[in-house]
C-alpha cells in the first residue's frame, strides 16, 4: 500500500514530534535556498546526451515496424505517464521522429469517466497536463487534447494528420489494456504501434513473464536487472522538425468546468499538480524527511514519508528519477534501502500482479489458501456490521479508523500504515470478504489522489485477501489472513494524537 502523510511538503519529522524545525543537511544547505534539485536534474539530463536506447523497454504491438513513406509525423499517445522529461516512451517517440525527419506530436485522450475517479482526480490530472502542454510548446512538440475514449478518437486523429507511427506507455489495468486493443484494431495496418514501459524501472514484461508470489520471489529478478535499466535519463530536446499544421487550441478552464464527474469530492491544497510540484515534494523529502524513513515510516504522527504517490500515480514524475536521486543524495543508508524497497520492488510487484492476474481486484484473484480460509469463515459472526455509507461518513465506534477515513476524505491521502489497518477493519465490519474488498476499493478510488492504481488494488488485496503475504494464526472472520487491531496500533504510536487531529473534522 502506498505510503502517505498529512503534513505539508516542507514539514519535518522533528516538527511533528517536538515542534522544532531541524537544520537542513549540510550537503544541501547552500543549494536549498534556491531549490537545488531541478538544476541538478537538468545537468544530469544534459550529460546523458548520446545515450543508446535499450530496446528491451519496447513492446511491438503491430505487424509492421517501419514508418510508411509520406507520413507527416510521429505521435506519442500519452496515457499513464503524464510528463515530458524522464519519459522513456516520449524519448523513444522523439528518436523515431528524428530518424525519419518528422514532426513530433503528443496526444492525450480525455475520457469522460474512469472507474470511481472524481473531480479531485481529474483536476489534478488536467492541471498537470496543462504544464505538459506548455512545455511541449517550448520544445516544438505539438500537444493535442482529444475528448473521448482512445478507441473512438485516436485512430481517426492518426489518419487525419497522416501520422506514420504511434508510441504509447504501459499500464496493466484492464480498462487501459482494453483501450490498447481498441486503438490497435482502429489503426491502419501499415501504421507501426509501439508500447514502452515508462512507469517501471525494469519493464514489467522483462522483470518476469508470470505472476510472482511475493516480494521475495521478484526482488532478486529486479535487483539483477537494475544495473541495466537504472540508467541516467536523457533530455527530451527541442524537436528539430516542425509541423505545418497546428493543434486545436485548448480552453483549459472550460475543459475543467465542463467535466461531468462527481464534484462533491473537491481538490486538496497540500499537493501542487504537475511535474514542478512533484519535484518540490521530492526535494523536501530528500532534504528533510528521508532521514527518518527507515525508523518512523509506520508512525502516522511523524512526517517521515515521501508523499510522492499522487505524482507517481499520474506519471507527473518518474519513479526512476526519484530512486536515482534518493540513492545519490540520501545520507542515511538504511533509509535509502527501505525507500528503494518500497518504490522499486513493492511498486513493480504491484504492476506484475495486475498484469498477470486478470482478477486483481476480486477475491477470486487471491491465492487458494486465502480463498479457502475466507470461505471457511464466511459464516462467522461479524459485529458490528456497517454499511458503505456509514463507513464513508466515518461513523464507526473506532476513533482511529474514523480518523483515517476523515484524513482521506478531506486530504486525498492516508498514511500507509493506517491504510492497512483501515482496510482490514472493513473486512471485520462487513458481511463478506467480497463486500469488504468492493467497499475498500471504492472508498480508496473515490477519495485518494493515488487511487485507481495497481498499488492500491494490491494494498486492498494484501489487507483483505492475503496477497503477497503468508498464512497466520487462524482466528474468526480473518481465518489465516493477517490480523491487525487497535491495541497493536497503540503499541506502535500515539493513537490518541492521531485521533485528536482528525476526529474534530467532518468527512
Q: Where does 97-201 show beta strands of DSSP type E?
A: 104-110, 142-147, 165-168, 193-196
Domain count, the chain: 2
Give the residue-averaged pLDDT of 443-460. 97
Q: Is the peptide bond before 121 cis (omega within 30 degrees of 0)?
A: no
DSSP assignment, residue 146?
E
Residue 385 scores a pLDDT above 80: yes
- The answer to whether residues 403 and 263 belong to one domain is no
- The answer to whether residues 400 and 448 belong to one domain is yes
Percent of the chain past pLDDT 70, that is, above it, reads 93
Give the residue-averaged pLDDT of 103-125. 97
Report whether 16 contacts 302 (CB < 8 A).
Answer: yes
- Over residues 126-173, the pLDDT tens digits come to 999 999 999 999 999 999 999 999 999 999 999 999 999 999 999 999
Report whether 45 contacts 234 (CB < 8 A).
Answer: yes
Which of 356, 379, 403 lies at the terminal end of a domain, its last residue? 356
CA distance 58 to 62: 12
- The answer to whether residues 371 and 294 belong to one domain is no
- Over residues 345-381, the pLDDT tens digits come to 999 999 999 999 999 999 999 999 999 999 999 999 9
- The answer to whether residues 370 and 333 belong to one domain is no
Q: Which residues contact 327 (CB under 8 A, 6 or more apart)?
A: 336, 340
Strand order in the sheet with 58-60: 58-60, 193-196, 165-168, 74-78, 104-110, 142-147
Report whether 107 contacts 77 (CB < 8 A).
Answer: yes
Which of 335, 356, 377 lies at the terminal end of a domain, its last residue? 356
- The answer to whether residues 481 and 407 belong to one domain is yes
Position 466 scores a pLDDT of 97
The pLDDT-based confidence of 85 (bands split at 50, 70, 90) is very high
- Over residues 225-271, the pLDDT tens digits come to 999 999 999 999 999 999 988 999 999 999 999 998 999 999 999 99
Domain that holds residue 398: 363-502
Which of 340, 356, 372 lies at the terminal end of a domain, its last residue? 356
Please indicate, yes or no, if residue 275 is contained in any of the structural domains: yes
- Over residues 9-44, the pLDDT tens digits come to 334 333 333 333 433 333 333 334 348 999 999 999
Position 17 scores a pLDDT of 36
Position 1 scores a pLDDT of 37
Residue 452 scores a pLDDT above 60: yes
- The answer to whether residues 340 and 477 belong to one domain is no
Indicate if the alpha-carbon torsion angle 147, 148, 154, 156 is positive or negative. negative
Position 50 scores a pLDDT of 84
Report whether 436 contacts 107 (CB < 8 A).
Answer: no
- Indicate the pTM of the whole model: 0.92
Please indicate, yes or no, if residue 144 is contained in any of the structural domains: yes
- The answer to whether residues 352 and 373 belong to one domain is no
Residue 3 scores a pLDDT above 70: no
Residue 66 scores a pLDDT above 60: yes
Residue 192 scores a pLDDT above 70: yes
Please indicate, yes or no, if residue 1 is contained in any of the structural domains: no
Position 507 scores a pLDDT of 76
> Both ends of the chain: CA-CA distance in Å?
22
- Over residues 468-503, the pLDDT tens digits come to 999 999 999 999 999 999 999 999 999 999 999 999
- The answer to whether residues 348 and 371 belong to one domain is no
Q: Could you give the angle at the alpha carbon of 187 between the alpha carbons of 185 and 188, nearest 5°?
A: 115
Indicate if the alpha-carbon torsion angle 77, 79, 82, 88 is positive or negative. negative
Residue 447 scores a pLDDT above 70: yes
- The answer to whether residues 390 and 266 belong to one domain is no
- The answer to whether residues 427 and 349 belong to one domain is no
| Pick from 329, 339, 256: nearest CA to 293 | 339
Residue count of the chain: 507
Residue 402 scores a pLDDT above 90: yes
Position 135 scores a pLDDT of 97
- The answer to whether residues 302 and 381 belong to one domain is no
Position 392 scores a pLDDT of 98
CATH of the domain at 79: 3.40.50.620
CA distance 431 to 162: 55
- The answer to whether residues 46 and 184 belong to one domain is yes
| Pick from 75, 86, 70: nearest CA to 108 | 75
Amino acid at each position: 500500500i502506498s505510503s502517505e502523510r498529512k503534513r505539508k511538503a516542507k514539514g519535518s519529522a522533528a516538527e511533528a514530534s517536538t515542534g522544532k524545525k531541524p537544520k537542513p543537511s549540510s550537503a544541501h544547505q547552500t543549494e536549498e535556498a534556491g531549490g537545488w534539485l531541478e538544476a541538478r536534474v537538468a545537468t544530469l539530463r544534459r550529460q546523458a546526451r548520446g545515450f543508446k536506447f535499450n530496446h528491451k523497454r519496447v513492446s511491438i504491438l503491430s505487424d509492421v515496424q517501419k514508418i510508411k513513406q509520406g507520413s507527416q509525423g510521429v505521435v506519442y499517445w500519452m496515457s499513464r505517464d503524464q510528463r515530458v522529461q524522464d519519459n522513456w516512451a516520449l524519448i523513444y517517440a522523439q528518436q523515431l521522429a528524428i530518424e525519419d525527419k518528422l514532426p513530433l506530436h503528443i496526444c492525450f485522450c480525455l475520457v469522460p469517466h474512469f472507474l470511481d475517479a472524481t473531480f479531485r482526480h481529474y483536476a489534478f490530472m488536467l492541471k498537470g497536463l496543462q504544464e505538459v502542454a506548455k512545455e511541449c510548446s517550448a520544445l516544438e512538440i505539438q500537444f493535442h487534447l482529444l475528448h473521448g475514449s482512445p478507441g473512438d478518437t485516436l485512430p481517426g486523429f492518426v489518419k487525419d494528420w497522416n501520422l506514420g507511427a504511434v508510441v504509447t506507455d504501459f499500464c496493466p489495468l484492464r480498462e487501459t489494456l482494453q483501450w490498447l486493443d481498441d486503438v490497435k484494431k482502429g489503426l491502419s495496418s501499415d501504421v507501426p504501434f509501439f508500447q514502452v514501459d515508462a512507469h517501471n524501472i525494469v519493464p514489467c514484461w522483462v522483470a518476469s513473464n508470470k505472476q510472482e508470489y511475493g516480494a521475495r520471489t521478484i526482488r532478486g529478478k529486479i535487483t539483477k536487472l537494475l544495473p541495466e535499466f537504472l540508467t541516467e535519463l536523457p533530455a527530451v530536446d527541442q524537436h528539430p522538425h516542425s509541423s505545418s499544421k497546428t493543434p486545436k487550441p485548448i480552453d483549459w478552464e472550460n475543459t475543467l468546468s465542463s467535466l461531468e464527474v462527481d464534484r462533491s469530492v473537491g481538490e486538496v491544497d497540500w499537493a501542487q499538480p504537475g511535474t514542478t510540484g512533484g519535484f518540490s515534494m521530492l526535494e523536501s523529502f530528500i532534504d528533510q524527511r528521508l532521514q527518518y524513513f527507515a525508523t518512523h515510516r509506520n508512525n502516522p504522527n511523524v512526517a517521515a514519508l515521501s508523499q510522492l504517490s499522487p505524482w507517481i500515480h499520474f506519471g507527473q514524475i518518474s519513479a526512476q528519477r526519484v530512486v536515482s536521486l534518493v540513492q545519490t543524495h540520501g545520507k542515511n543508508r538504511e533509509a535509502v534501502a527501505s525507500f528503494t524497497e518500497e518504490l522499486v520492488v513493492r511498486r513493480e510487484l504491484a504492476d506484475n500482479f495486475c498484469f498477470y492476474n486478470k482478477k486483481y481486484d476480486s477475491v477470486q484473484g487471491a491465492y487458494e489458501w486465502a480463498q479457502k480460509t475466507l470461505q471457511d469463515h464466511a459464516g462467522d459472526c461479524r459485529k458490528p456490521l456497517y454499511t458503505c455509507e456509514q463507513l464513508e461518513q466515518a461513523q464507526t465506534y473506532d476513533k482511529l479508523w474514523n480518523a483515517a477515513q476523515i484524513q482521506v476524505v478531506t486530504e486525498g491521502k492516508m498514511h500507509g500504515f493506517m491504510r492497512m489497518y483501515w482496510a482490514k477493519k472493513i473486512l471485520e465490519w462487513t458481511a463478506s470478504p467480497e463486500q469488504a474488498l468492493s467497499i475498500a476499493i471504492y472508498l480508496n478510488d473515490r477519495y485518494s489522489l493515488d487511487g485507481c492504481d495497481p498499488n492500491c488494488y494490491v494494498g486492498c488485496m494484501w489487507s483483505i485477501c492475503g496477497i503477497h503475504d503468508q498464512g497466520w494464526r487462524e482466528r474468526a472472520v480473518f481465518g489465516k489472513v493477517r490480523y491487525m487491531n487497535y491495541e497493536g496500533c497503540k503499541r506502535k504510536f500515539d493513537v490518541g494524537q492521531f485521533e485528536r487531529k482528525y476526529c474534530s473534522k467532518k468527512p
